[in-house]
Chains A and B, each alone.
Chain A
């Protein structure tokens, strides 16, 4: 874990105009509506929490508090309370910001993802070995699941990252191709790639990606949650592989075939049966715990009705 030497820091009122943003700050997106809320608060109550800076010649560089600094500039404030710290090295500078920001604010994932390769490289230099996910988590205070999500984003071809950046600059409610969209899609595609290699059209994963994005844009896929069907189809070994391949191949074609339809046509029945089996075993376990004298009238009635339905089903009759 990075050590923040608060003991060496001193609290000062420093001129807002003598502060520069930190070039290493992973945060690249500042949405106007989010800044406005803080602006109102600072206008009424001032800057209640000092920003953190280090001195660089006659100027200061921000470690923490870019939004407070921006709002103070906007409000034409002369000074801002700041904790002036010793200048950190590159890795400490990056880790400081992750530790300070990632724990407190909801950063965009891409913000963190973009700096993660640099952190991994610097940690590797320091330790002499590639850091594990657990070590990265310790150093950055990010959850391991967040690190994995970041990796999915950072592994995307650059033009998709550019698309996400364009999207992130919009107010949240107007974003469509979000980070979460790409994460859900990439998770699905990754599982498909492992479980059913060669299912992508012409072996081209990116082509499949483009088709899925188009289908999402046009509403053929109406929720990013439907991408969760991809691993379910790819991993359903109980179902004939040809059926599953056919369904996935159709999904990756430029047509109106949705993920919901592919799921329905290939593995839905199997998963329904699986679900019933799980419920039956759970119900059976509960029934085993019952004693005949514990059954009240209502329960007895429901169990009898269930027994009749099960018998009718097993005897192949509709009459219940």
Chain B
């Protein structure tokens, strides 16, 4: 490929990394030093499109560092650009310290070392469109933090919606417990004349049915449980519609961008909802 910006001593490392991504990852349509997005203040050394419709970009450098990339990564994340970015560097005489490579990865960027015989992915790149999500695990009870970490890892893996699924599962579990508690504490209305008590098991019954029943029988009491509002119940109900959605495979990078943006928003709002349910549960 032709490079105008890349120092000449790194041209072969760039070409070999491109070949590696073509052959090993099926990345196609590589372009060198062209703009990915007109408004993004960054041109990678090269970029192509992966079969999952991610833009796979490489930044070829002498060493693993983020000097050029910090603001580019931030820009990609805030614009929800579906980019997986790798820093590529030639194998040094003595390996770079592990912490240097890890520092890159903490910012969502992968690392590829170009060796004489092959290229080695030292760290996988995370989709930057999903990377800058808002979630503070410290706000959650300790026993939930492991699950949240699983959700985060899934979000940043090859199957981002799985991250949301983990959170929706937790929302359901916590909500069922909260609903059972409200019933036990007699926060439900009395049966109307001629009305039969439901035999639905609140712990195991169909989730939508449980929510319908709860909405029907729960009497909002702002004094006893100030945060268990109709609005919260509707938010829980709304989350069920996303839970079982299985999306088709994106056909373009724009579709991937829209999908990731939506996934990130869902992930963040699911985490917010979970936090609200935890708060309400402690009030019941």
Contact = CB atoms under 8 A, between A and B. Distances in A.
A153 interface: no
B43 interface: yes
B62 interface: yes
A297 B29 CA distance: 89
Report the contact-size class of chain B (Cβ under 8 Å from the partner). 10 to 19
A29 interface: yes
B198 interface: no
A30 B42 contact: no
Contacts of B61: 32
Contact of A76 (B4, B10, B35): B35
Contacts of A170: 9, 62
Contact of B42 (A21, A40, A76, A171): A76
A43 B62 contact: no
Contacts of B71: 43
A121 interface: no
B103 to A, nearest CB: 16
B68 interface: yes
A40 B67 contact: yes
B8 A28 contact: yes
A279 interface: no
Contact of A33 (B5, B41, B62): B62
A35 interface: yes
A187 interface: no
A74 B8 contact: no
Contacts of A74: 5, 33, 42-43, 68
A30 B33 contact: no
Interface in A10-62: 21, 28-33, 35-36, 39-40, 43
B185 to A, nearest CB: 58
Given A21-B4, A33-B62, A169-B9, A73 B67 contact: no
Nearest to B43: A76
A270 interface: no
A59 to B, nearest CB: 13
Contacts of A29: 7-8
B135 interface: no
A73 B67 CA distance: 16
A39 B68 contact: yes
Nearest to A168: B9
B68 A70 contact: no
Contact of A43 (B5, B7, B41): B41
A290 B282 CA distance: 97
A170 B8 CA distance: 11
B41 A76 contact: yes
B40 interface: yes
A75 interface: yes
Contacts of A166: 9
Contacts of B38: 76
Interface string A87-116: 000000000000000000000000000000
A30 B8 CA distance: 8
Contacts of B5: 70, 73-74
A32 to B, nearest CB: 5
Nearest to A73: B5
18 contacts: A32-B7, A32-B62, A35-B7, A36-B67, A43-B71, A70-B4, A73-B4, A73-B43, A74-B33, A74-B68, A75-B42, A76-B35, A76-B38, A76-B40, A76-B41, A169-B7, A169-B8, A169-B9
Interface of A: 21, 28-33, 35-36, 39-40, 43, 70, 73-77, 166, 169-171
Interface of B: 4-5, 7-10, 33, 35, 38, 40-43, 61-62, 67-68, 71
Given A76-B42, A166-B9, A171-B62, 14 more contacts: A21-B4, A29-B8, A31-B7, A32-B61, A39-B67, A43-B41, A43-B71, A74-B42, A75-B42, A75-B43, A76-B35, A76-B38, A76-B41, A169-B9
